[in-house]
Structure 1
């Protein structure tokens, strides 16, 4: 979730309105990806800021749609007999293209800002800079390496259906955990994207998390993924995100859109690595 400068005057004031699951899912697809979504009923513009107080409870449903192109590529690559590392790399590439590297941008900016500055003001200034520094480049490289390697390990051990399920499990969970940070952590600046879209209610965040866990359990059972791997992945992601939240509070005073993008990437890495570790093939 990149921290782009929004027009806060567009943010809907007053009591939040729940638009329904279908409309909310479409809004989330538009916000989190480059997939085309037309102007929806009741909207004055297809480019206005979403009201994130209630809408993100549909994030898990939108995440499944967003992950679908990468999933189809992975299934096709598996059916064609393409090697697991190349198939996984193709899937991760399509996933990044589908979102416009939305979350990757946040990860890079977070790494540069948190580790490249010496004061909260300087760290926030670095995070707004579109240029990628050493820490950001290293974070991006490690993220891609870990995601491709973990996905390839699952693909090699259990086949393309299980690897596709891992993608569909990680997509909702990683975005729901980032949403939880948005709901529970204070914004580090009053003019950033995370402040402008509004703070989700606790019920919104917990609904998204509950849906994500339900999808994860169903996907794990249906695809024959190890339950111990899912448990390990969920636990690792919670630990990593707790560390990120604490680091954000200490170094910049809270969360930003970039922090949320980093949270998504870290949660996805933790979950897929947990699944791969439980298979044992990640070490071969």
Structure 2
């Protein structure tokens, strides 16, 4: 059995690694990651997502206290989360939309996804992503409800990433996703448990169930699309999966809020 101090060190290392992957915060260890360390640390992705959600919620709360209306407060909250993550997931969404939407062959689609330039499909995807999330937060309006929705969205959207990486093979032998490796079953299970728990606590069991069903369906659809068009998943596809999850959870939160 691993001594408790070593276990604690591993947990902290995994949290730092996960945070360094999904944020621009200077928390990465100076030591090189051992083989399989990145895949193992994926259990902590929803925890890192929770921190991002809390940051957006804090800015929304401050903006509301300063008298700004919900639409402007929501925009500032979204800007905060994009800034903290370095717009990593937005970039993945745009590249995925450009790659899957353009190009006739698998090779051309992958080439487009690696191109740093953004195309029409990517622009449209980003407009829809920001527009839907902004509208949902503005509709929720209440700072406390917005905080819960943001925490739920950013946690749950990343909770399914390890499972997606495990079930969908990499589309190419190089790149971020391929180098990370396939997460072990334990990391997949812990990430799912953390995401489900936060989702249920933040939105309630009923909304959480709806959110999980929608996330699962969206994941299956994206996986099928990615496998058919490019042979599997890439880091960009994972970013698109995360963005889709954020959108769906925020829409669920807004729909139930408006239905009261």
Match of residue 119 from structure 1: 105
Give how far 1:51 is off.
Answer: 2.5
SS in 2 for 1:181: helix
2:110 is the counterpart of 1:132: no
Asked if structure 2 preserves the Cα contact closer than 8 Å seen for 1:51 and 1:198, the reply is no
2:187 is the counterpart of 1:199: no
Aligned residue runs from structure 1 range 229-248, under 5 A? 229-248=207-226
Residues 168-177 or 251-260, more deviating? 168-177
Asked if structure 2 preserves the Cα contact closer than 8 Å seen for 1:18 and 1:54, the reply is no
**Alpha-carbon distance in structure 1 between the residues aligned to 2:147 and 2:187:** 27
Asked if structure 1 preserves the Cα contact closer than 8 Å seen for 2:140 and 2:258, the reply is no
Match of residue 81 from structure 1: 67
Q: Which runs of 5+ in 1 are unaligned?
A: 1-16, 222-226
Asked if structure 2 preserves the Cα contact closer than 8 Å seen for 1:103 and 1:261, the reply is yes
2:151 is the counterpart of 1:168: yes
SS in 2 for 1:189: coil
Question: Of the candidates 222, 232, 236, which is equivalent to residue 258 of structure 1?
Answer: 236
Match of residue 80 from structure 2: 94
Asked if structure 2 preserves the Cα contact closer than 8 Å seen for 1:165 and 1:219, the reply is yes
Give how far 1:50 is off.
Answer: 7.7
Give how far 1:19 is off.
Answer: 5.1
Question: More helix per residue: 1 or 2?
Answer: 2
Q: Which runs of 5+ in 2 are unaligned?
A: 1-6
Number of aligned residues: 254
SS in 1 for 2:169: coil
Q: Cα gap change, 1:160/1:32 in structure 2, threshold over 3 Å: closer, same or farther?
A: same
Give how far 1:38 is off.
Answer: 5.4
TM-score for the superposition, normalised by structure 1: 0.84
Asked if structure 2 preserves the Cα contact closer than 8 Å seen for 1:150 and 1:273, the reply is yes
Question: Of the candidates 25, 30, 52, which is equivalent to residue 20 of structure 2?
Answer: 30
Asked if structure 2 preserves the Cα contact closer than 8 Å seen for 1:52 and 1:199, the reply is no
